[in-house]
Amino acid sequence: MDTLIKQITNIPLIDLSRTWKDGEHSKRASAKEIAEACKKIGFFYLINHGVDQELITRVFSQTKALFNLPNQEKQRLHINKSPYMRGYFAFGGDKSDGVNDDIKEGYDLALDLPADDPLVQAKLPFYGPNTWPADLPGFKTTINEYYDAMMRLGVNLLRLFGIGLDVDENYFPDRFRKPIAQIRLLKYPPPENRSAFRIGAGEHTDFGWITLILQDDTGGLQVLDRDGIWLDVPSIPGTFVVNVGDLMQRWTNDKYVATMHRVTNRATTDRYSAAFFMDPDYHVEVDCLESCVSNQNQANYRPIVVGDYMNQRFHDTTTFRDPPKS
């Protein structure tokens, strides 16, 4: 597998198969690999990650069924009908580059909290119950199971990131107790002209901590390398693609870099993916880590509150949310 990946991509592969069962040495070796990938390009593949392939197959099946619902049903599930920013959006609902409409359909879900949860009662953005399609009886079960599996994987990565950044293993997990962790299911249509390609999501960096991307075999994800060249990030069976977000770049004082990327579709079929945005609790303050600051490398960023920052960034790049209040 290593040889195959080196032949088709410059994005490093990190294998977690031995990380948690072969002791401290293997754990630190994986943490070092992640750290190097985040410094050099901000993207890596993750294999032997512990998320069951049968569950992944069901996620793709339910995603396709969701977007194949009649348009009238999808409009009933529209995100602008949810006070908790959950549900469906159509072409133009998202502007990844902040300017141009993305050519994609999406469906946003997150931590499924009851209406009487204190965070929901406080009317904090990003917290609340999900919107579930009534006509897809297996959808809720599958997505909740996938959310839980991705949270387990995410917490494992939190620990490895901590080791790689010379902070306590629990530093990051302690800041992800009720995280703004979201699943975004996506469908990108093919171009009308087969000789062209369609920009499904304009060039952008992600807002948060890290993103774990599950993509089908259509391809289309591209990363802008340090030389200004767009690199394909092809689909490799059994892997997630992981990338650093803007919050992580701030947290590490630019030690780890949030890399520009985009989604195109050159294929003759729809492209499906599921992005898991692993972002911290709303009230967490992000300040440059002491291990990333020195006399020679002063802090480049002022402290910010995660939820306030994320809320503003979403308002800047979407058309389906109300303007933020003063």
Task: Please answer whether residues 146 and 43 qualify as being in contact, where contact means their C-beta atoms are separated by less than 8 angstroms.
Answer: no
Q: Supply the pLDDT for residue 1.
A: 39
pLDDT by residue, tens only, the chain of 326 residues: 343 434 346 899 999 998 877 778 888 999 999 999 999 999 999 999 999 999 999 999 999 999 999 999 999 999 989 988 899 998 877 767 666 777 889 999 999 999 999 999 999 988 999 999 998 989 999 999 999 999 999 999 999 999 999 999 999 999 999 999 999 999 998 877 665 567 788 788 888 899 999 999 998 899 998 888 888 999 999 999 999 999 999 999 999 999 999 998 888 889 999 999 999 999 999 999 999 998 888 999 999 999 898 888 777 766 665 443 43
Q: Are strands 210-215 and 239-244 parallel, antiparallel or unpaired?
A: antiparallel
Burial class (CB in 10 A: 0-12, 13-18, 19+), 291: middle
Structure tokens at 125: 């953005």
Q: What are the phi and psi torsion angles at 293 (to 5°)?
A: -125, 140
Q: Supply the pLDDT for residue 315.
A: 72
- Going across the sheet that includes 43-47, the strands are 13-15, 43-47, 239-244, 210-215, 271-278, 182-188, 105-110, 87-89
Measure the CA angle with vertex 278, ends 274 and 283; round to 5°. Answer: 140
* CA-to-CA separations, 156 to 55, 160, 273, in angstroms, rounded: 19, 7, 22
Q: Supply the pLDDT for residue 310.
A: 87
Nearest to 294 by CA among 253, 266, 258, 262: 253
CATH code of the domain occupying 2-317: 2.60.120.330
